[in-house]
Homo-oligomer: A and B are copies of this chain.
């Protein structure tokens, strides 16, 4: 037996959780929403809609498009997007640790 959990930010519905977190992580690394979506076996459209919905519910822009050219353009995280990624990452990690402690107390 083990603990299962999910944490997310809510603002009139799910505003940011595990899915968008994984997506933003990959966009930051790959410099591309398209590549990030492929890595998560998600359609480009679904990934794009997910980000858009988060942006609406959070009230901040998370990613920006870079114009084409030799490298073919791509997407990158905005400053508020980077800050959210960092902050949520820390929150998620500490949430897991806190929950494991509570879980072990009640289900030793």
Query: A101's contact among B3, B6, B98, by CB below 8 Å, is which?
Result: B98
Query: A91's contact among B10, B14, B88, B107, by CB below 8 Å, is which?
Result: B107
Chain A: interface residue total (CB-CB under 8 A): 29
User: Interface on A for B, CB 8 Å cutoff?
Assistant: 1-11, 14-15, 17, 58, 87-88, 90-91, 94-95, 98-99, 101-103, 105-107
**Shortest Cβ gap from A66 to chain B (Å):** 29
Beyond A4-B7, A4-B14, A5-B6, 5 additional contacts (C-beta under 8 Å) are: A4-B17, A5-B5, A90-B106, A95-B102, A99-B99
**A5 near B7 (CB under 8 angstroms)?**
yes
Of all chain B residues, the one with the shortest Cβ separation from A6 is B6
